[in-house]
Amino acid sequence: MFIESNLNNGRKRGWIEVIVGSMFSGKTEELIRRLRRAEIAKQHVEIFKPTVDTRYSASEVVSHNENSIRSTAIDNSSTILLLSGNIDVIGIDEAQFFDENLVEVCNKLANMGIRVIVAGLDMDFRGEPFGPMPGLMACAEFVTKVHAVCMRCGHVAQFSHRLSDGGKIVMLGEKESYEPLCRECFRAINPQT
């Protein structure tokens, strides 16, 4: 499905790939897999994550399965443009935590001939579109939606249900704070949705 080479008639061609889904669906795992393949292909790769994501490591993107790849933590999406010189592939994890300008940044990078791979939650704990993700999905050439397993019934899960109270949209947590749910189980808990 994806073209591993960035060259076409001697000219670099860029594009945007977006990997979305609920928590525990394998988004970061898939991001790491694609970035490792690019490294094997001897492409210059740079990975970014938001500084707010301090769950596993400050200097690595780490999946729930504990696979990791080095990364640079940044405060805002504009910094990616400053650090993207001589790069073939850029990976961005936890994209939902970045500012809305991330869509413009990713488009600029793709227009410069860079393959941009973005992973993030498509919905927040309320089941609503999260941050820049809808805009990224709209302008991406490729969108992959991955799913978790519903912790209540075992069906396909696409919602990240927050187990604790709190109205803040951004609240970092793991299995103690969130569980993946299918639509039916999510609606049973959140009938207003």
- Give the CA dihedral 152, 155, 159, 164, nearest 10 degrees: 10
Tokens coding 142: 């490729």
Q: How far apart are CA 71 and CA 89, in angstroms?
A: 13
Q: How far apart are CA 77 and CA 103, in angstroms?
A: 9
Give phi and psi for 124, each to the nearest 5. Answer: -85, -175
User: What residues are labeled active site?
Assistant: 94
Q: How far apart are CA 4 and CA 11, in angstroms?
A: 14
Q: How many CA atoms lie within 13 A of 1 on its CB side?
A: 6
Residue 101 near residue 76, CB atoms below 8 Å = yes
Residue 186 near residue 155, CB atoms below 8 Å = no
Residue 115 near residue 14, CB atoms below 8 Å = yes
Which is nearest to 171 in space by CA: 129, 131, 133, 124? 124
